[in-house]
Amino acid sequence: MRLAVVRQHYAAAGAAERLVEGALEALLERNVAISLYTRAWPQTRLNLIEPVLCDPFHVGALWRDWGFARGACAAIGQARADLVYSLERVLCCDVYHAADGVHAARVEELRRGTSVFGRARLALAPYHRYALGIERRLYASPWLQKVICPSKLVRDEIHERFGLPHAKLPVIYGAVDGDAYSPALRAQREPVRVRLRIDPAASVFLLVKTDDGDAEAEVAFAALARVPAPAHLILATDARRRDHAKARAAAHGVADRVTPVARQSDLRPHHGAADALIAPFLYDPAATSTLAAMACGLPAITSTRSGAAELVREHDGGLVCVARDAAGLAAQMRALLDPQRRERLGANAREAVAALTPDATTLQFVLLFKDLLTASAQAHAAAMSAAAAKRAARRQAAAAPQMPAPAPEPGEPASEPTAAEPRGPRS
């Protein structure tokens, strides 16, 4: 059996790739051949994967995604894959992994906090128009058998917006390495606070920005301004945005209580230095950084538009706020100034993600792929059997002797002509 994997830019260290690589390795061990359709062959530990390079020329994001989807599907159409699993929006996949959530929901959240001009710009943006169109066609594709959802938030959005039944929408949360992210990181608390010159008495909040997280940081600064000193914020952001973050923090009067750090660095020591995580995200369907913080025993303040909110609520592992509500976020941050409450919610947060181990996630993927590959093989065998039966019937009919029709008795009318015997003119 052969599994085709579609990923435009396959990064072995990427969150989605790390999530599924264990399953791919297990399938390789079970003699499932795997082809990876990508723009460039990455250096991965899975050397048995066969690369199929699809790298059409492009300029800009729209042409990039459209060209790759077209090229990958053309290549897959010429191959013999029993199952096509895609991390990209392509119309030829059997299984789509909605790791980035629903694009329509993301655009909707972006529209909420912008001006009339901003909403018009979003509506007319060529890339968003393409992404929204391909998303609608993907969820209506007759090929699509399953959509892997990183949270119940995404599952419910797809069900409500596109009408797919829940049976087609399995939820597989991101895996959390409980050894790498654990309360043991609290040993880093004092050294990191001394290095970052944070008041030892401060309650420290950690915010790990998303790619489009300027609005989230703005809300966090406004909320921090409503929380009494010496409460402090560690902001993990891109290095190129650090000066901008400092300027915005100064505009809110909290520059001395905000410490920007590099988002691309190892953030585990900063998890150890923090007392709680704030994640007021506009849209964070997989909530990878929130799950990691919860594994460290940090209570999380997350937004209703985060895939982690459902776990926080179910296990009482923190608090849930509305995105862009600085006053509400500030009230919840003030609630977590209480060390005893932080301790209780942090223990619950750790318990909430305890079952999301890499091994458990790998097993979920393996069982899903195994069932679909088996069903595909059975369907192929049934189709081949039906085709063979038709061919045998045709051969048997061709080999049978053709007996002449008996002559009619005198006065008996001739038999009705068949479709192979066209009618003659009336006499």
Q: Please say whether the beta carbons of 207 and 236 come within 8 A.
A: yes
209: confidence class by pLDDT, cuts 50, 70, 90:
confident
- For 364-394, b/e burial (b = at least 16 CB within 10 A) is bbbebbbebbeebeeeeeeeeeeeeeeeeee
Whether residue 26 is found in the same domain as residue 96: yes
Whether residue 93 is found in the same domain as residue 196: no
What amino acid is encoded at 238 in this protein? D
Predicted confidence (pLDDT) per residue in 118-136, tens digit: 888 888 899 999 999 999 9
91: confidence class by pLDDT, cuts 50, 70, 90:
very high
With a cut of 50, say whether residue 422 has pLDDT above it: no
Whether residue 153 is found in the same domain as residue 203: no
Predicted confidence (pLDDT) per residue in 284-304, tens digit: 999 999 999 999 999 999 999
Predicted confidence (pLDDT) per residue in 51-66, tens digit: 899 999 999 999 999 9
Predicted confidence (pLDDT) per residue in 309-344, tens digit: 999 999 999 999 998 999 999 999 999 999 999 999
Give the DSSP letter of residue 366.
H
Tokens of 383: 């189709």
Number of domains in the chain: 2
Burial of 265 (0-12, 13-18, 19+ CB in 10 A): exposed
Whether residue 339 is found in the same domain as residue 205: yes
What amino acid is encoded at 137 in this protein? R
Is residue 389 domain-resident? Answer: no
Tokens of 193: 């606070």
Average pLDDT over residues 213-238: 92
Predicted confidence (pLDDT) per residue in 104-117, tens digit: 999 998 888 788 88
Report the distance separating Cα 386 and Cα 376, nearest Å.
15
Whether residue 147 is found in the same domain as residue 207: no
Whether residue 62 is found in the same domain as residue 92: yes
pTM: 0.85
- Of 317, 352, 387, the one marking the end of a domain is 352
Whether residue 158 is found in the same domain as residue 224: no
Average pLDDT over residues 175-197: 94
Is residue 231 domain-resident? Answer: yes
Is residue 373 domain-resident? Answer: no
What amino acid is encoded at 169 in this protein? L
Q: Which domain holds residue 17?
A: 2-175
Report the distance separating Cα 143 and Cα 399, nearest Å.
39
Reported as half-sphere exposure (CB side, CA atoms, 13 A), residue 3 has a value of 27
399: confidence class by pLDDT, cuts 50, 70, 90:
low
Report the distance separating Cα 32 and Cα 54, nearest Å.
22
